[in-house]
């Protein structure tokens, strides 16, 4: 039975992924930030007739990561076969509406936390003769939109680090994959939308953004979970997997002139374009 660590496994994509993998015969070690969250996840798995294990983890604390990695190594008899770096954080808002503290938290969770866990499990994966690291990115790691700058910055960084890691560890049989969801119906999306301040100069555009995202019918997290399983089971996994209806146009948007992309985004959100669309 292949062992897989799933971080941030108590809600949204992480929860769906942990339950899906447990249902398909993986030895799942799901991380949670509290015993209460862990107990709820264990109960949810038991209701479905599946079992998994939990480990307490806060990816923003190096000591917590070290302790969790040691516990995983003990539970798996030497370390996991795969790591799914799913723990994530978003603080939506215009650049000037997001505090330095909030921005630092986003980078700490989405970039440094994922890097810490990958660094800690790599020796075990090598000892097993190979395995997988799946990093949860976003379509925001490919495109940057207004009011999402810090989240997109963190996912751009995660994409770059994953690309480097993939090339550096390929000779060891480590396969590194990025999952790039669009808008997913999760508590993180709800929180991100709610975080946008109502007293901002951008308040009207924030309301427009909320309407557009709601109208886009966010994809269920179970679709992302199935894609994670696909990345784990594929003999030769792809470097990137996109998930969700809102990712369909991404390849086409990426080849458009940046000025045109700016113009379309600003027009959709009721922002005055600062430059012409060239």
pLDDT digit string (tens) for 200-214? 999 999 899 888 888
pTM of the predicted model, to two decimals? Answer: 0.93
Q: What is the CATH number of the domain that holds 176?
A: 3.40.50.720
- pLDDT score, position 274: 53
Phi, psi of 271 (to 5 degrees): -100, 145
In a domain, 178, yes or no: yes
In a domain, 278, yes or no: no
In a domain, 113, yes or no: yes
In a domain, 192, yes or no: yes
Structurally, the chain folds into a number of domains equal to 1
Q: Is 241 a catalytic residue?
A: no
Task: Residue 194: give the domain boundaries.
Answer: 3-269
In a domain, 195, yes or no: yes
Q: Does residue 153 register a pLDDT over 80?
A: yes
pLDDT tens for 210-244 read 888 888 778 899 999 999 999 999 999 999 999 98
In a domain, 275, yes or no: no
Catalytic residue among 26, 151, 202, 241: 151
Q: What order do you get walking across the sheet with 53-56 strand by strand?
A: 53-56, 27-32, 3-6, 82-85, 131-136, 174-181, 240-243
In a domain, 21, yes or no: yes
pLDDT tens for 95-144 read 999 999 999 999 999 999 999 999 999 999 999 999 999 999 999 999 99
In a domain, 211, yes or no: yes
């Amino acid at each position: 039975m292949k062992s897989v660590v799933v971080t941030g496994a108590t809600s949204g994509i992480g929860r769906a992924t942990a339950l899906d993998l447990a249902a398909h015969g993986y030895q799942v070690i799901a991380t949670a930030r509290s015993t209460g969250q862990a107990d709820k996840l264990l109960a949810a798995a038991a209701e479905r007739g599946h079992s998994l294990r939990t480990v307490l983890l806060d990816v923003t604390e190096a000591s917590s990561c070290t302790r969790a990695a040691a516990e995983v190594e003990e539970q798996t008899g030497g370390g996991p076969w795969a790591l799914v770096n799913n723990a994530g954080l978003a603080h939506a808002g215009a650049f000037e509406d997001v505090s330095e503290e909030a921005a630092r938290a986003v980078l700490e969770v989405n970039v440094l936390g994922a890097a810490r866990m990958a660094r800690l499990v790599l020796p075990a994966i090598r000892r097993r003769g190979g395995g997988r690291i799946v990093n949860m990115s976003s379509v925001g790691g490919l495109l940057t939109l207004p009011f999402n700058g810090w989240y997109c910055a963190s996912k751009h960084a995660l994409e770059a680090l994953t690309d480097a890691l993939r090339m550096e560890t390929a000779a060891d049989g480590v396969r590194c994959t990025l999952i790039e969801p669009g808008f997913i119906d999760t508590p993180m999306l709800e929180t991100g939308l709610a975080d946008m301040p109502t007293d901002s100069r951008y308040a009207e555009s924030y309301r427009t953004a909320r309407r557009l995202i709601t109208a886009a019918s966010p994809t269920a997290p179970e679709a992302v979970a199935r894609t994670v399983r696909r990345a784990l089971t594929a003999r030769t996994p792809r470097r990137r997997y996109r998930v969700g209806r809102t990712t369909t146009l991404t390849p086409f948007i990426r080849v458009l002139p940046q000025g045109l992309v700016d113009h379309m985004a600003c027009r959709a959100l009721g922002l005055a374009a600062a430059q012409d669309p060239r």
